[in-house]
Amino acid sequence: DASALFNPVIQEIAKSKNKSTAQIIIRWHLQNGLVVIPKTVTLERLTENAHVYDFVLSDNEIRQIDKLGETHRRRFVNPPFNPPGDKNIFDD
């Protein structure tokens, strides 16, 4: 589902940073300590997706994106994510 790519909040942040909406979403995940594996079938998008280390999202921009989960029924990813049954298998 690509609906996040067309969200007005994401679009405005992308415009202000001269980045694509996909880059903003990828960067948000990275700044939240998440691993990102974007799907693409084109070399152009693959290259674009890799160019997310030359900018950062401000605390305010992070909060704006975080709030999207409060107003929309969709859950894109909202840390912390801890699935049931997650167990530490290593000795402390």
Tokens of 27: 């960067």
Give whole-number Cα distances, 29 to 4, 13, 57, in Å.
13, 15, 11
Alpha helices per DSSP H over the chain: 8-17, 21-31, 43-50, 59-71
Query: Strand, helix or coil at 72?
Result: coil
pLDDT band at 75 (very low <50, low <70, confident <90, very high): low
Q: Are 57 and 24 in contact (CB under 8 A)?
A: yes
14 — phi, psi (to 5°)?
Answer: -60, -45
Query: pTM of the prediction?
Result: 0.74
Q: How confident is the model at residue 3 (pLDDT cuts 50, 70, 90)?
A: confident
The residue ranking higher by pLDDT, 58 or 36, is: 58
